[in-house]
Structure 1
Amino acid sequence: MRTTTTPRPRARATVATLGAAALALTLAACGGADEATPGVTAETVTIGTHQPLTGPAAAGYSSISAATQAYFDHVNAQGGVHGRQIEYVVKDDGYNPANTQTVVRELVQQDDVFAVVNGLGTPTHSAVLDFLNQNEVPDLFVSSGSTAWDDPEAYPYTFGYNADYHVEGAALGRYAADEHPGETVCLLGQNDDYGETLLEGVQIALGEDGVAAHETYETANQDVTAQIGALQGAGCEVVVLGTVNGFTALAVGTAAQMGFTPTWMAASAGGDYPTLVGFLGEDLAPVLLQGFVSVNYLPFGPGGDWVELFSAVNDEYNAGAPFDGNTVFGMSVGYTFVEALARAGEDPTRESLVAALESGDVVGNGLAPLAYSADDHAGFTTAGITVVDDGVQDFVGTTYRLDGETVTTTEPQVPAVEGEGVPTE
């Protein structure tokens, strides 16, 4: 059970604090109103994040913040937002919650950031959720599919971003039912909130008895032979994967060695084909991953306008780093923050930034608009299906939306790239 902590009430003003407040107002009038807002000056807006640049999650996710920085460099080259340059402070937490607490406190108390943007990981970000909300720091676009970030009553400053694992699991379950009717569906998942919540999502689509076998793994154990053997023995024809990319490759490779060839369907956290090629190799990956199904909520189809824009930004500002799903994710997060900052006004405050998101006017660049409102901080509630064919991962045009316990098909609504790809009011 998660402990709920409400924001701390403001202390009553005394004569001394009233005097200090008056002095602060006088100084603000002399130096510009934006100086009263943490992280905002006349020339800059400073935001921060915690990321696994080292540690067990680095191989899969360390490139995200570099992609976000590259997009901000692109925006800054166009003049920034309302004339301010975006400064992005990235702190390495090694995917360790204790480290996350330390670096996030540094961001808030020493670096004086305007907001924390795209902090990565369920266990890591959970460790700072109360702290950020108690200090009224906008906590935007948490990089995790946990449903914990959508609790605006308890955590009014926190906003999710990813399609959560219920959405992704429901989309994969419904696609399995639509395209593989009557086949035995099973699941291999990480033994934590990620795997469990994805399972719940699949069961939303297929019913509680719709998953014939469910195996879990520990991230500390690089051997899934027993789990794959159990799934093979259960006669699984479709295997949904609640895995990170490294364990997706491990599962597929282990199954191939055992002569087990189900249809694989992965959550977005473990379904990025370019990353999987890095694990499996350029010769094996196209063979082992032919027909590989995954879910995504961002525009990652080859040849699309967003991929063209982000590829150009990647080439110019990211030292030609490999272009993959992390690139699209990191730059899409950057785009959404710029959209929110532009709508927060010429002299943004933390309150106006939250209000901009809750207005519903910030839509992002996904397959469907973000679902933000005063009562909904979840992020994306729609996800599309991608399939690998001859070494190319692309959308197949099937998009699912989860509304409560109901899964429906819908049409993608990807916004067009306008101008230089820098959103304005």
Structure 2
Amino acid sequence: MRKLLLALAATASLIHAGAAVAQKNYGPGVTDTEIKLGQTIPYSGPASAYGTLGRSHVAFFKMINDQGGINGRKVNLISLDDGYSPPKTIEAVRRLVESEEVLGLFGTLGTPTNSAIHKYVNQKKVPHLFVSTGAGKWNDPKNFPWTMGFQPNYPAEGKVFAAHILATKPNAKIAILYQNDDFGKDYLIGVKAGLGDKAKSMIVAEASFEVTDPTVDSQILTLRSSGADVFVNAASPKFAAQAIKRVGEIGWKPVHYLTNVSATVGTVLRPAGLDHSTGLLTTQFQKDPGDSQWDKDPEMIAYKEFMKKYYPEGDVNDQLNLLCFASGHAMAHVLRQAGDNLTRENVMKIAGNLKDLRVPGLLPGLTINTSPTNHGPLSMLQMARFDGTKWVPFGEPITAK
């Protein structure tokens, strides 16, 4: 009898342990059948060219859901329009967190808009993942442990521009156009840091603009009058296109550096004029979907099949859409790894411990790495030049720090 009782006790203990292992642990926005995420995107307003990011992300998770979802759960991405207006972003994010009760935010667009919700989401301990902006502030896990960027940050790109200028045109006279917010100022900071002691003598003109300005024509004329022979264009797509076009129209021929986020052929270079765009310099961290060298690449084939089926109205050659394909895969990986422990804390823990994660669309050899002290998933860039049709990478990838 004593042996029987011991055996029964042991069996009960094993059953209890198995139940504990199998127990599901859910945070807000999660059920047995659904994972609810949120984001804000400027579908309207001065930065509406970025609206394709939201459309791509929604389409991406429709694809994931059609493939069976994440561990059997469908992902419900609620994508709201904030018009690139920080007050509207705050209102929309409060709705997502307090009314919709999303598990986390994913891919929210914009430096000023994310800045407006930065403290709020961290106070609420809501995952604020893979934000669609390269501001340096997103990699600050000590003070903002719930926020994480995705692409290489803007100050780092500014430093890479500066390094290239110093190497190829050490006596350059530099003019800088920048958006008057954290996005534009980060480039200014990066270029100056990269130039070091030479910044004061080499930078001969700076001009800022507001996203509510109708054009940047007057700024371009002011910068040209400085006698600059190098132009750093740190503007979002609408204004970047205006600047490229205006520079070409007035016959100014500086060495022209363009921020990566505005280096899209379809939404920036074509509207600006491919003739005006030829010779532009930028940095890259992902493949160019319009470049024939990737036509047989399995990752690019998968991306193009996704676009054809789930976002046919989108521009397959727009690198913003490829960026969404990459960040969408990163988000799906984090959720998949979380299994049935879908709490905000565990999602953030997994996102903060990614090791050599390869997602489709990155240049060969580039992987995602994070840690509790590093919330900058991507940290390598490569210079590229526009040849009138496509971006052509040159040189070796540079680690951006």
TM-score band, normalised by the shorter chain?
A: 0.7 to 0.9
**Where does residue 293 of structure 1 map in the other structure?**
281
Structure 2 CA distance for aligned equivalents of residues 276 and 36 of structure 1 = 43
Q: Which residue of 1 aligns with 2:320?
A: 326
> In the superposition, relative to structure 1, how do residues 390 and 95 fare at CA in structure 2: closer, same or farther (>3 Å)?
closer
Alpha carbons of 1:40 and 1:349: their partners in 2 closer, same or farther (altered >3 Å)? Answer: same
- Aligned match of 2:382: 384
Partner of 2:124: 135
Preserved CA contact (<8 Å) 1:167 1:382: no
1:358 aligns with 2:352: yes
Which residue number in structure 2 is paired with residue 214 of structure 1? 206
Residue identity matched to 1:271? A
1:144 to 111, 116, 133: 133
User: What is the one-letter code of the residue matched to 2:158?
Assistant: G
CA distance 1:96–1:34, change in 2 (3 Å): farther
Mapped contact 2:105–2:129 kept (Cα < 8 A): yes
User: For structure 1, which runs of at least 5 residues remain unmatched after alignment?
Assistant: 1-28, 404-425
The question of 1:51 aligning with 2:41 is answered: yes
* Alpha-carbon displacement from aligned partner over 1:124-151 (angstroms, at most 9, x marks no partner): 1222222212222111011222222222
Q: Distance in 1 between matches of 2:334 and 2:358?
A: 9
Deviation of the 1:380 alpha carbon: 2.1
Match for residue 231 of structure 1 among 223, 229, 253: 223
For 2:267 and 2:300, how far apart are their aligned partners in 1? 16
Across the two proteins, how many residue pairs are aligned to each other? 369
Which residue of the partner structure matches residue 341 of structure 2?
347
Name the aligned partner's letter for residue 116 of structure 2.
A
The secondary structure found in structure 2 opposite 1:159 is coil
Q: Is the Cα contact below 8 Å between 1:114 and 1:137 reproduced in 2?
A: yes
Indicate which of 89, 92, 96 corresponds to 1:107.
96
Secondary structure (helix, strand or coil) at the match of 2:148 reads strand
Aligned amino acid, residue 215 of structure 1: A
Amino acid at match of 1:45: I
2: CA distance, partners of 1:396 / 1:159 = 29
* TM-align CA RMSD: 2.2
Q: Which of 190, 200, 208 matches 1:201?
A: 190
| Pairing 1:240–2:247 present | no
Residue 167 of structure 2 corresponds to 178
Give the Cα–Cα distance (whole angstroms) in 2 for the partners of residues 233 and 132 of structure 1: 44
Q: Which structure 2 segments of 5+ residues have no match?
A: 1-18
Q: Distance in 2 between matches of 1:162 and 1:229?
A: 32
1:311 corresponds to 2:304: yes
The secondary structure found in structure 2 opposite 1:187 is strand
Gap change, CA 1:69 and 1:194, over 3 Å in 2 = same
CA shift for structure 1 position 78: 2.2
How high is the TM-score relative to the length of structure 1? 0.81
Q: Distance in 2 between matches of 1:192 and 1:135?
A: 25
Name the CA distance, whole Å, in 2 between partners of 1:176 and 1:273: 24
**Aligned amino acid, residue 347 of structure 2:** L
Q: Secondary structure at the match of 1:91?
A: strand
In structure 1, C-alpha distance between the alignment counterparts of 2:96 and 2:217, rounded to whole Å: 42
CA contact (8 A) 1:190 1:219 kept: yes
Cα distance between partner residues in 2 of 1:73 and 1:158? 25
Aligned mate of 1:42, from 25, 32, 35: 32
Of stretches 238-247 and 221-230 in structure 1, the one that deviates more from structure 2 is 221-230
Equivalent positions of 1:148-167 (< 5 A) are 148-167=137-156
Larger radius of gyration: 2
Partner of 2:4: none
Contact 2:45–2:84, Cα closer than 8 Å, also in 1: yes
Identity %: 27
Partner of 1:275 in structure 2? 267
1:71 alignment partner, SS class: helix
